[in-house]
Structure 1
Amino acid sequence: MHIVKTTLAALAYAAFATTAQAETRLSLTSGFPPGSIPPVAHQQLADWLAANSDLKLDVTAMTLLSLPETSAGLRDGIADMAYMLTQYYPAEYKESNLAGDMTMLTTVGTKTDVPGLVMSAAFAEYVALNCDGCQTEFKAQNHVFLGSGASSAYALVCRLPINTVADLKGKKFRVGGGNFGRWAEYFGGTKVTMPGAEMFEALSQGVVDCSTLSTPELVNWQLFDVTKAVVLGAPGGVYGAVASNNINRDKWKSLTNEERTALLKGAGIVTAGVAIGYQQQAAAAEKIAKEKGIPVEPASAELQAASDAFVTEDMKAVAKQFTDTYGLKEVDAKMKTIGDLIEKWKGKLQGVDISTNQPYADLLWTEIYSKLDPATYGMD
């Protein structure tokens, strides 16, 4: 009887060990609060992987790594995967940030209703398939690039009515990036840098007159009570320097070919979840603003034309900065590649269905992620 019990226990343990071995668990974190778009997109990936692979993903938000800590934390294996904003690290990711500084091209020239989706796809295709320097940068930080993402279009959220070129002169603008700061100064304004958490008080007390941001931030930072005007189409562009689910390189190499294939397929799930999430949230935030009696209007024709002219001129400033300050080579050729990819995706995404993530995720798989060989990508 004792022998039988021992044998049964051994069989049970063997079965458990086999199951445990067949299931690979990964951690995925972001510096965003629970319920915000990045962790929601990460949970969508976790659900997809649970249904389509032997990978299990443990998603955390705002507890493991802050946004400034993400690059080093992922490098050192504090998390297996993470959401990273590359512009937090200008020295480490200058090749990738060149694309991130060109996002204003998404809202000039050929018009698109989904600039964030355009930039997400263009950034991913550039980094994954067209930028050896980007791959070298990620390798140096012990990362493997897997997916992208982008905000919805940037607008002006102001404490007073503004909608002409003359209105901008002498105003103070809270900005979140170098291109938006140059935009403010181009129109005779002053750029002010501050954390998002300080925007409400700054607008309330007149420390700034406007903030340049994507309209979902109206909800995220509860700015409705200090907003008197929302101007769409200026400054334009999106925030697009996003690596939405980079993975630690050592962890990537430890996975099977099948598991790496699943994560490559999942890259489109996260990219779509982030970009479409912001697009849908923008529409909801603008609706709430209107219901609260806040004017939500497109930029005047004069302001739109002047803003577009700035973008064309600013590409020269981008080229000079990345050549002189960051020492990039062949910047003009790289900028042409990025610009061509933005135009390509404007065409491909005309009329795309964003009521669900799948049509966009399928396009990303066909055009980008399916072209990466799981046996060699990130393995050198």
Structure 2
Amino acid sequence: MSTRKHLAGLIGAALVSAVAVQPAAADTFRFALGFPSGAPIEAAKKYAEAVQEYTDKKHRVRIFELSLLNHSEMSEGIGKGLADIGYLLTAYSPSDYPFSNMAADLSMVTALDDKIAGQEGYAYSGAMLEYIMLNCDECQDEFSKNNQVYTSVVSTPAYVMFCNDPIDTVAAVEGKRLRTSGAPWARWARSFNAQPVSLPVGEVYEALSQGVVDCAFLSPTELTNFNLIEVVKNITTDVPGGLYAAGGSSTLNKSKWDAFSTEEKAAFLKAGSVMAAQITYLYQQQATEDMKKAEARGLNIIQAQPDLLAKSQEFIKKDLEYVPQFYADEYKLDAENLKGKAEVMLGLIEKWQGLIANANIQSADDLRDLYWEQVYSKIDPAKYSPKK
């Protein structure tokens, strides 16, 4: 053998040996979010850290903010594996998730009292987690049929009215063009002889600034998430109420999930509890800060007059009874089954309002511990979202 060939052989053997002793590279999961910044991105960073920690660095998460998939593409994109994990808003694909979305559409019940004012999202996240993960086989089927696994919740703070003119009476609402975020708020608008308008949140800035709409129903967090603080002039704080909770903030591709060991499934569920707590807590913290920024900027912050508040609550009580029938009619589903599911969800909302009222939530970790104790710890990872 020539010296050159001998050296080549030695180098090759050394390279093979070196590769053999290197630790296996971590699998990278692509996490798509349809947001440019704000609480969802910050929560996703904590989730990514949790995945690495709970999988002993076997898996890592790469975050794609407002690039890989937008909100309307998210459901199909997760299912087809264009993203391994996605911040899924199920209201963008309503016919695919009727049982999940129905529970989210009961959120205006939180506007009927103020015992946990400023913490409505904390309770609603807990109720949605417990409903979908432990009490709604139909919800699990909805995600499975879309090749997805639900591991975490989406829940904003309570909705307020961002308006061009001051709106605080019944007469002031009548005839206005109101950008709504779903069917319950559209029905609320019509009950006041106002016109509901459906627009993506990314178009609200222009719509308000050009007077295409008079008001938008949104969480205070969108003041800075979408720079609405630059165009909003008036904020009415205690109507319409309710919040957005339709979706899963760390929804996994099911093909990936099915290939996991039981230990990996447990790790991703544990990371899901981190995401649930982070998104809910950070959203509320951001909402509080954004309202302070709005006040400092000179925006007119007002409360509804008694006539508007009373009529709003009257509508909500009647509408809560109608929600399951709406879903039965819209999607040709069994009305009695949906009514039963609505009763379960309303009971869970009441339960979680009590839990939050008696808890001393000072951090996202406090919230994570509560969600873990009440929901995640009761899930058997080996049996959760099983293969069909």
Length-normalised TM-score, structure 2: 0.92
CA contact 2:178–2:195 (8 Å) conserved in 1:
yes
Match of 2:236 among 231, 238, 242: 231
Identity among equivalent pairs (%):
35
Q: Does 1:39 align with 2:41?
A: yes
Q: Residue 59 of structure 1 is aligned with which of 57, 63, 69?
A: 63
8 A Cα contact 2:235 2:302, kept in partner:
yes
Counterpart-to-counterpart distance in 1, 2:16 and 2:231: 67
Matched, 1:90 2:94: yes
Given that 1:253 and 1:379 are in contact with CA atoms closer than 8 Å, whether structure 2 keeps it comes out as yes
Whether contact under 8 Å (1:110, 1:343) holds in the other structure is: no
Distance 2:155 2:375 in 1: 16
Aligned partners of 1:88 and 1:177: how far apart in 2? 10
Moved more, 41-50 or 223-232: 223-232
The amino acid that maps onto 1:305 is A
Contact persistence 2:160–2:238 (CA under 8 A): yes
Partner of 1:157: 162
The answer to whether structure 1 residue 350 and structure 2 residue 354 are counterparts is no
Residue 13 (structure 1) aligned to one of 15, 19, 40: 19
What aligned pairs does 1:256-295 form with structure 2 within 5 A after superposition?
A: 256-295=261-300
Once the two structures are superposed, what CA deviation does each residue of 1:225-261 show, in whole Å capped at 9, x if it has no partner?
A: 4323211110000001021111111101112222111
Residue 24 (structure 2) pairs with residue 29 (structure 1): no
User: Which among 80, 85, 88 is matched to residue 84 of structure 2?
Assistant: 80
1:131-150 to 2 correspondences below 5 Å: 131-150=136-155
Q: CA deviation at 1:148?
A: 0.4
What 5-or-longer segments of structure 2 have no aligned partner?
1-5
**Amino acid paired to 2:165:** L
Asked whether the equivalents of residues 116 and 149 of structure 1 are also in contact (C-alpha less than 8 Å), the reply is: no
Say if 2:115 and 2:357, in contact at 8 Å, map to a contact too: no
For the residue of structure 1 that corresponds to 2:88, the secondary structure is: strand
- Structure 1 residue aligned with 2:52: 50
Name the CA distance, whole Å, in 2 between partners of 1:351 and 1:155: 25
Question: What is the CA–CA distance in structure 2 between the aligned matches of 1:26 and 1:205, rounded to whole Å?
Answer: 41
Counterpart selection for 1:241 from 246, 250, 261: 246
Give the equivalent residue in structure 2 for 1:195: 200
Matches within 5 A, 1:164-183: 164-183=169-188
The 5 A counterparts of 1:102-117 are 102-109=106-113, 111-113=115-117, 114-117=119-122
2:27 & 2:75 partners in 1: Cα distance? 23
Q: Over residues 12-46 of structure 1, what are the superposed CA-to-partner deviations in whole Å (9 max), with x where a residue is unaligned?
A: 11122x433xx33322111211x222222111111
Aligned pair 1:70/2:77, yes or no? no
* Paired residues of 2:33 and 2:69 also in contact (CA < 8 A): yes
| Moved >4 Å (runs of 4+) | 1-7, 351-355
Aligned partners of 2:313, 2:156: CA distance in 1, in Å? 19
Larger Rg: 2
In the alignment, is the contact (CA less than 8 A) between 2:109 and 2:320 conserved in 1?
A: no
What amino acid sits opposite 2:75 in the alignment? S
Look up the equivalent residue of 2:40 and give its one-letter code: P
* Deviates most, 314-323 or 142-151: 314-323
Per the alignment, in what secondary structure is the counterpart of residue 94 of structure 2?
coil
From the superposition, tell whether residues 61 and 122 of structure 1 become closer, same or farther in structure 2 (CA, over 3 Å).
same
Query: What secondary structure, in the 3-state scheme, does the structure 2 residue paired with 1:299 have?
Result: coil
The alpha-carbon distance between structure 1 residues 189 and 12, as it changes in their structure 2 partners (threshold 3 A), is same
Cα distance in 2 for partners of 1:72, 1:378 equals 18
Tell me, yes or no, if the aligned pair for 1:117 and 1:149 is still in contact at 8 Å: no
Matches of 2:11 and 2:210 in 1, distance apart?
75
Q: How many residues align?
A: 376
Letter in 1 for 2:109: L
Cα distance in 2 between the residues matched to 1:136 and 1:197: 31
Give, as a single letter, the amino acid of the residue that structure 2 aligns with 1:184. Answer: A
- Report if the CA contact (8 A) 1:125-1:368 is conserved: yes
CA displacement at 1:362 relative to structure 2:
0.9
Cα distance, 1:7 vs structure 2: 4.8
Q: Does 1:367 align with 2:374?
A: yes
For 2:113 and 2:230, the matched residues in 1 are separated by 34
Q: CA deviation at 1:352?
A: 4.2
Alignment of 1:127 with 2:132, yes or no, is yes
Could you tell me which runs of 5 or more consecutive residues in structure 1 were left unpaired when the two chains were aligned.
none
CA RMSD of aligned residues (A): 1.8
Q: Cα offset for 1:163? A: 0.9
- Structure 1: distance between partners of 2:48 and 2:209: 40
- Once residues 83 and 142 of structure 2 are traced to their aligned partners in structure 1, the CA distance between those partners, rounded to angstroms, is 19
Residue 173 of structure 1 aligns to a residue in which SS?
strand
Maintained 8 Å contact 1:55/1:259: no
